[in-house]
């Protein structure tokens, strides 16, 4: 769904990675630490205890946090 929406807005996906693949790529290019933050983790972190029930869609954006 995300790919379809991105393509429709003129922003096509050019690559797909699993969390272990993108973490390895970050480490292989010189980042000392690379952590994956899942969509579920982000939902728990930022949407828990909302009284309006707002939630992102399942399998929404995921993040890579990397530093040297």
DSSP-assigned states of every residue in 32-45: SEEEEE-HHHHHHH
Residue 30's pLDDT is: 97
- In this structure, how many other beta carbons lie within 10 angstroms of the beta carbon of residue 26? 19
The answer to whether the beta carbons of residues 27 and 34 sit under 8 Å apart is yes
pLDDT per residue as tens digits for the range 9-25: 888 777 889 999 999 99
Q: Which residues, given as ranges, of the chain have pLDDT below 70?
A: none
Helix, coil or strand: residue 37: strand
The token duo for 68 is 């040297």
The answer to whether the beta carbons of residues 36 and 64 sit under 8 Å apart is yes
Residue 59's pLDDT is: 75
Task: Report the predicted TM-score, pTM, of the whole model to 2 decimal places.
Answer: 0.72
Residue 68's pLDDT is: 92
């Amino acid at each position: 769904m995300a790919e379809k929406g991105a393509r429709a807005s003129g922003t096509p996906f050019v690559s797909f990675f699993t969390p272990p693949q993108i973490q390895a790529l970050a480490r292989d290019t010189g980042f000392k630490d690379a952590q994956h933050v899942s969509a579920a983790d982000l939902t728990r972190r930022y949407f828990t205890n909302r009284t309006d029930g707002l939630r992102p869609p399942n399998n929404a954006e995921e993040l890579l946090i990397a530093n040297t």
